[in-house]
A and B are shown apart, each in its own frame.
Chain A
Amino acid sequence: MAGQTPDMVTLKIPRPLYERVQQLIEGTGFRSVTEFATYVLRDLAAQPALEKRPARKKAPARMTAAELKAARQRLRELGYL
């Protein structure tokens, strides 16, 4: 795979997988494993955008203060706290 440049990073994958993919892409038009991996990952990462309903709000990595307050209140109501 390509070395580190400002726009690119290096990914590490197991060598047997690399070699298997190398065989897999022979004669397919993909010129390198990097090109194929980029295609597959891009396709996967783009999936939600292709679906019918537009995103309303992204899931936050952590809950917001209001959500945490609501969660605490709910847990208390449910008897967990």
Chain B
Amino acid sequence: MKRLVVIGLDCLTPQWALESWLDDMPNLKALAARGVGARLHSTSPPITVPAWTAMLTSQDPGMLGVYGFRNRMSYEYDSLQVTNATAVKARTVWNHLSRNRLKSLLVGIPQTYPPKPLNGIMVSGFMTPSKDVTFTYPEGVRGVLDAAAGGEYVIDVKHFRTEDKAALLESVKKMTTARFRAFRALLRAEEFDFAMMVEMGPDRLQHGFWRFCDPTHRLYEPGNPFENVLHDYYVSLDEEIGKTGEAAGEGASVMVVSDHGAKAMEGAICINEWLQEQGYLKLKEQPEKRTRLTPNMIDWQNTRAWGEGGYYGRLFMNVEGREPQGAIPPGAYESMRREIQEGLESLGDEEGKPIGTRVFRPEDIYREVKNIAPDLIVYFGDLNWRSAGSVGIGANHLRENDTGPDDANHLPDGVFAWDPGGAAAASLRREERYRIYDVAPSILRFFGLDAPEDMIGQSII
């Protein structure tokens, strides 16, 4: 009986895991040596949601109709809604495995709340509102999780935006240990063919500690007390990878994968300040201090575009006949979209030096565009800068995040290490960089199943 165990590490970044620190991570190094260790190119945008769902369905965000954590449900101005598992209409790897009577054991995969029935066990991911709701399938699993975790099973860290870095570090470590323990307890106790966990710790820690650990970050201070936090955490993750491989049992194949990586953040571009300066966005009143932009603050009749903050920027246009108070005649939509795209791409840093912003039209990067995509998707400074949505700043640039301290942005490459075992290891398609869409077809192939036609990736075995 073939068994596969996937260890998902959100935001595990290749320049450290596969390069600088690989020698300090003997389990990952050995896994890569037995099979492959390579970069994994993520979705556009490279963000937890939709990246994990794209990985496990082999469909791009446009095909999924999920463009980020929040999606427009209609063309009303206040229709952005937090997505969850009910938005996933595509079949996941475990849906295909369940249909083929293969049992899955899933812990912490993003965008799986509320949990849906499957052949196996599911513990929902970090957007589970609390442990007071049904977040496992079957429901009874919830009752054994704390014991399995050897204490308290933690869905996600609380109070992330804190200056108390020591407390944040402790809470992330506790969460990581608990999730791995719970996963291993389930591996030992339950029958499974496919098992997968996703741990959010690397993402949380990198956003909180990057400046202390990356000598290229502009705020890095040599000899600071947190200098080795990320290195030591990566080493501890490697120990967990080793223990989990042992718990999986003799002959089980192990895959380590991340949805995207991380890199130093230079600063933030205030997308709505720029749109105001350029005359695309008009507020009813200019706030005196930094304020989160909400739809009721906007003079819609005189507004042609507005934006949202985040690790990348999303730009929405106010089109006649589409939005309630549309201000752009449909015939002028394309030319204005091009004009805004060019304006954003030519916006430099505070001194006007180019930063390499890239702007995408959804129909150019996705095979289909289901539901409502942003009109433009913006990588400020090729993701070296984030997007700040606040207004009342009085400048187009910020050297910090507008919603609290953050030192890192997302790198479009994650990590992929896998030893499929036996003959499959010898016939691996070897590349320096695989695509996130290749993961699901590879998992199905491992179990002898052909990828369905709606999967856009290629099996690497």
Binding site for B on A (CB under 8 A): 47-48, 51-53, 55-63, 67-68, 70-72, 74-81
Query: Is there contact, CB below 8 Å, between A63 and B135?
Result: no
Given contacts A56-B132, A57-B134, A59-B134, are A79 and B114 in contact (CB under 8 A)? no
Answer whether A55 and B139 are a contact pair too, CB < 8 Å, given A71-B82, A79-B311, A80-B69: yes
Does A57 contact B135, Cβ atoms closer than 8 Å?
no
Number of A-B contacts (CB under 8 A): 84
Report chain A residues within 8 Å CB of B159: 77
A20 to chain B, nearest CB (A): 13
Among B365-385, those with CB < 8 Å from A are: none
| Contact between chains at A79 and B401 (CB < 8 Å) | yes
Given known A-B contacts A63-B82, A70-B129, A77 and B161 have beta carbons under 8 A apart: yes
User: Could you tell me if B143 and A51 are in contact, using CB atoms closer than 8 angstroms?
Assistant: yes
Contact (Cβ within 8 A) B86 A62: yes
A55 contacts B134, C-beta separation under 8 Å? yes
What sequence of 0s and 1s flags, for each residue 132-147 of chain B, a beta carbon within 8 Å of any chain A beta carbon? 1111001110110000
With contact pairs A48-B139, A80-B47 given, residues A58 and B309 touching in the complex (Cβ less than 8 Å): no
Kindly list chain A residues whose C-beta atoms are within 8 Å of the C-beta of B338: none
Per-residue CB contact flags for chain B residues 201-226 toward chain A (1 = under 8 Å, else 0) read 00010010000000000000000000
Residues of chain B within 8 A of A78, CB atoms compared: 160, 204, 207
Q: Are B114 and A68 in contact (CB under 8 A)?
A: no
What's the Cα separation between A69 and B165 when bound, in Å? 26
A61 to B204 Cα, complex, angstroms: 28
Contact A58 B311 (CB under 8 A): no
The residues of B that contact A70 with a CB separation of less than 8 Å are 129
Nearest 9 A/B pairs, CB to CB: A51-B140, A59-B114, A53-B143, A59-B134, A48-B139, A67-B129, A71-B82, A77-B161, A77-B160
